[in-house]
């Protein structure tokens, strides 16, 4: 299975989600590969930091750039059971190419109008990619949500997402918790830490992605 984490807007936590899901797969004993196509190389630095701690389970990570990633994914699929791609936050040739090879595409967004406006282009990108990858399924989920949001904030964002025919609303909601940033600095996942609320949220998304 190839899972793509990406979007058109930066700062929505894509690398955090990709690295957490990859670490959870490795902890579960699954054959997983983390693919970093983001020019900022956040996932790569996370993996390097993780490898410096010998007590942590290794998460294989490779860097790939350019517009032929979908062809390379076909070869990777033969070697790894699960591939998780961190494609970064911009409309790039890497993102569009990865969409041609992915099974599921997850787009994290903040519950804000600025993030919501990007969904129109994402919806069109998915429609274009589906001409060549008919099996692609695209999900949008709320990420970096305030731990104390207004009751209407999440519902308004969800209603906006539902307006787009090519996007599936995910039930999972990930809140903006300091523990996610602390885990990233240490090259770990929140699944390996003691914050039960954060663990419950990432486990909910994990189960949804890999069900």
Determine the pLDDT at residue 149: 63
Each residue of 78-96: pLDDT tens digit?
999 999 999 987 899 999 9
- For the segment 5-31, the average pLDDT, to the nearest whole number, is 95
User: Mind listing the domains of the chain with CATH numbers?
Assistant: 2-210 (3.40.50.300)
Global pTM reads 0.95
What pLDDT is stored for residue 67 in this prediction? 95
Measure the CA–CA gap between 166 and 137, rounded to whole angstroms: 8
Nearest 10 degrees: Cα torsion 207, 141, 40, 113: -170
Q: How many CB atoms lie within 10 A of CB 200?
A: 10
pLDDT value at 71 more than 70: yes
Confidence of residue 17 (pLDDT cuts 50, 70, 90): very high
67-81 average pLDDT score? 96
Whole-number pLDDT of residue 11: 87
Q: Quick one: residue 160, left, alpha or beta (phi over 0 = left, psi -120 to 50 = alpha)?
A: alpha
Calculate the average pLDDT of the chain. Answer: 94
Q: What is the pLDDT of residues 99-152, one digit of tens each?
A: 999 999 999 999 887 788 889 999 999 999 999 999 999 999 999 998 886 657
């Amino acid at each position: 299975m190839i899972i793509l984490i990406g979007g058109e807007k930066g700062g929505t936590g894509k690398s955090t989600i990709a690295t957490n899901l990859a670490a959870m797969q490795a902890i579960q004993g699954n054959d997983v590969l983390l693919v970093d196509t983001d020019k900022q190389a956040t996932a790569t630095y996370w993996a390097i930091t993780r490898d410096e701690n010998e007590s942590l389970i290794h998460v294989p990570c490779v860097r790939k750039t350019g517009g032929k990633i979908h062809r390379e994914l076909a070869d990777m699929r033969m070697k790894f059971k699960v591939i998780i791609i961190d494609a970064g936050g911009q409309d790039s040739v890497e993102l569009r190419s990865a969409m041609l090879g992915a099974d599921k595409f997850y787009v994290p967004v903040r519950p804000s109008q600025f993030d919501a406006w990007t969904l129109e282009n994402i919806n069109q990108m998915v429609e274009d990619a589906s001409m060549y990858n008919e099996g692609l399924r695209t999900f949008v989920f709320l990420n970096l949500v305030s731990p104390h949001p207004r009751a209407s904030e999440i519902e308004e964002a969800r209603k906006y997402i539902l307006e787009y025919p090519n996007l599936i609303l995910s039930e999972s909601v990930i809140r903006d918790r300091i523990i996610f940033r602390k885990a990233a600095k240490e090259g770990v996942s929140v699944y390996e830490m003691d914050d039960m609320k954060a663990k419950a949220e990432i486990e909910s998304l994990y189960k949804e992605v890999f069900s």
